[in-house]
Structure 1
């Protein structure tokens, strides 16, 4: 770089220069989910966009459609009638300069503006979940079920104290599943068939970290039904076993 500005962090890595590229907060608000813990979010924005949600009860969202400049997201919560915060990020806006630091690229576009809040990705969460774990061999009505087979557990990720975090899915094509036997009558006799419970992980907003909580999303059949607030438009269920999230710092947003 013959001229310009480079900012290094304490590890000697370039943190900001004229090649810096990130999204910044452009919209935010809250909504209330319905009795099923679901709500639709419409955002009018002419440009690329990334949306994250936040709730201590757990929340997720995924793009479902785009009509002109209207982006339509499906939001899901871990409980009904939940108040969910949402944050939309896009490219930095050419707003009136309020002082501070603004860095331009050679073509005149804005690379960085200290008055605009950047998307701060603090952690990448990759969960390789078993689709079909060990078969229980016990009947559904046998007790105690909790001792028959391992259920999915909460996964807490500690980060920086004093900061608040949430996460949004970038890929969810599988579930953590447990398998039991169910009694069934057939032709006057009684037999047993497999009974499946399928869980997806939902991020819960925490101060000092984020907790991924397994939520039972479907049961009965072998193939899980993954709600659309985990799956962006065009991403359908395939027999893979990946759930991936970006954990972001939302302190002060």
Structure 2
């Protein structure tokens, strides 16, 4: 679970979340700079600043990415700080050597291969000429049905053995081969278990000290000053004449 320290003041919004992988901080530029993030720099979207992401180093020496936090407000930024050694791999496995010029990666519902057209053909994974942009093929992606034919109409998943070829950077292509549902369910269950083990391990690691200590203290002191200035004032209710029903019963007066 994340712990946070936030303020309800929309002009000086600040929220500090301690997550298993690092710190996620939302706040105005003024407050982020006040805790030592991006001091003297133009933030994303500002004149002279980057369009989307500003990469800086936080006061502890960790890499920090600053972006606009649109869901929090137009003037709110998000500082994402991932601690070393807490990286998490997504999917089931990592890219591994498969054959000359080809890497393979297990995903939840597919086996993915990366390589040039020549390498994929030589490995027997894709028929020659069945690549995006080739004569008679679609421009960005090509689907091959399990029986080796091309689908008619919209491209949809047609079960285990279906192949999807997509263009990648350079002269490489990515081939995704659909696996049986039973194997996909097994991989998904193993991934959930791995996530639980990873999260438990991350929670057991010591955390670096927070960087908002002085700001929290200053805000706490300011709140104490405001509370000490409050005074309870009693005022007599204004008398308003009205019709009152006489009490009933043997003890009425």
Taking structure 2 as the reference length, the TM-score comes to 0.19
Structure having the larger proportion of residues in helix: 2
Larger Rg: 2
Higher RCO (CA < 8 A, seq sep 6+): 1
Taking structure 1 as the reference length, the TM-score comes to 0.19
